[in-house]
């Protein structure tokens, strides 16, 4: 069947719905504990970024905003999503998975929403706090989520065209929403070769691994990124623009030393003028 990504607003019952769907379909729900394990496997240079990914919040200081602007981190987050999705029969909850898996076949991308007033009242009832405090909490949480997605994927979490299914939990109960998602999952899954999808995801994960290692080693240009394509037999193709010949050569040298890479086709271009 299809892989499911569920993006949800705080107080929309998205977590409850994800658990119900996992139970109905016997899917693995990618929990915070699983994300924590992935975060713990990050190297020291990525520890702060992985911790933010784990809790779905963006650090708020000026240094951290610059930190999240590093291209290597986007590649890191995408590779983590691809590796988790490659397990198959999983529900990816939050963390921009719908953006990372946007072009992968057999992925059902769901958004769970509800009016802010309804979500705030639910939070107030659940936590036993004044409604005004719940409203502030909902607004702050929403800002953090939007900032994180914009920092990593340069996109907006409320772009409805990024989802296959948007459910308002005022119109549908958690149980009804889970039924709708389960039915849609089976319909999407019928059109997908699971083994082929797994190969695609693992290849994409490896490509992003190579990207992030390269981007840690050289300065990349924000307006002309480096991309990696993985071909059969471990051959990779480097494309994009770097500042000079030395950076181009360094990128190829770094890539060639990565386990699993057998050949590097370096098609990087430079901004240097040559005469």
Tell me the average confidence (pLDDT) per consecutive run of 10 residues in the chain, 275 residues long. 93 96 95 75 68 60 47 80 91 88 92 96 94 94 82 80 95 96 92 88 92 85 78 92 90 94 94 56
Q: What is the pTM of this model?
A: 0.81
Contact at 8 Å (CB) between 66 and 2? no
DSSP-assigned states of every residue in 104-123: STTEEEEEEE--HHHHHHHH
CA angle 17, 58, 170 (to 5 degrees): 25
What is d(CA 44, CA 66) in angstroms, rounded to the nearest whole number?
17
Q: Note the helical H segments in the chain.
A: 14-25, 32-40, 47-55, 62-68, 71-85, 97-100, 116-127, 131-153, 174-189, 194-217, 245-256
DSSP annotation of 224: B
What is d(CA 148, CA 250) in angstroms, rounded to the nearest whole number?
30
The DSSP element (H or E) to which 92 belongs, if any, is strand 90-93
What is d(CA 78, CA 71) in angstroms, rounded to the nearest whole number?
11
The sign of the dihedral angle between the CA atoms of 184, 190, 192, 193 is positive
């Amino acid at each position: 069947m299809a892989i499911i990504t569920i993006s949800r607003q705080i107080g929309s019952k998205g977590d409850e719905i994800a658990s119900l769907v996992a139970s109905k379909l016997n899917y693995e729900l990618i929990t915070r504990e699983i994300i924590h394990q992935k975060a713990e496997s990050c190297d020291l240079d990525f520890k702060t970024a992985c911790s933010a990914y784990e809790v779905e919040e963006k650090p708020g200081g000026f240094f951290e905003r610059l930190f999240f602007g590093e291209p290597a981190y986007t590649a890191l987050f995408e590779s983590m999503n691809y590796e988790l999705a490659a397990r198959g029969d999983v529900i990816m909850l939050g963390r921009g998975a719908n953006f990372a898996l946007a072009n992968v076949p057999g992925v059902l991308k769901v958004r769970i929403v509800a009016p802010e007033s309804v979500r705030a009242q639910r939070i107030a009832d659940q936590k036993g706090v004044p409604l005004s405090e719940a409203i502030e909490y909902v607004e702050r949480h929403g800002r953090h989520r939007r900032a994180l997605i914009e920092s990593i994927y340069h996109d907006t979490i409320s772009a409805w065209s990024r989802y296959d299914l948007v459910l308002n939990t005022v119109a549908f109960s958690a149980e009804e929403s889970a039924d709708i998602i389960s039915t849609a999952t089976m319909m999407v899954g019928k059109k997908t070769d699971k083994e082929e999808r797994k190969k695609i995801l693992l290849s994409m994960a490896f490509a992003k691994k190579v990207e992030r290692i390269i981007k840690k080693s050289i300065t990349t240009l924000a307006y002309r990124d480096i991309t990696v394509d993985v071909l059969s037999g471990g051959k990779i193709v480097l494309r994009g623009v770097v500042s000079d010949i030395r950076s181009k050569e360094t990128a190829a040298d770094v890539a060639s030393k990565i386990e699993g890479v057998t050949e590097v086709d370096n098609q990087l271009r430079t901004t240097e003028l040559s005469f």
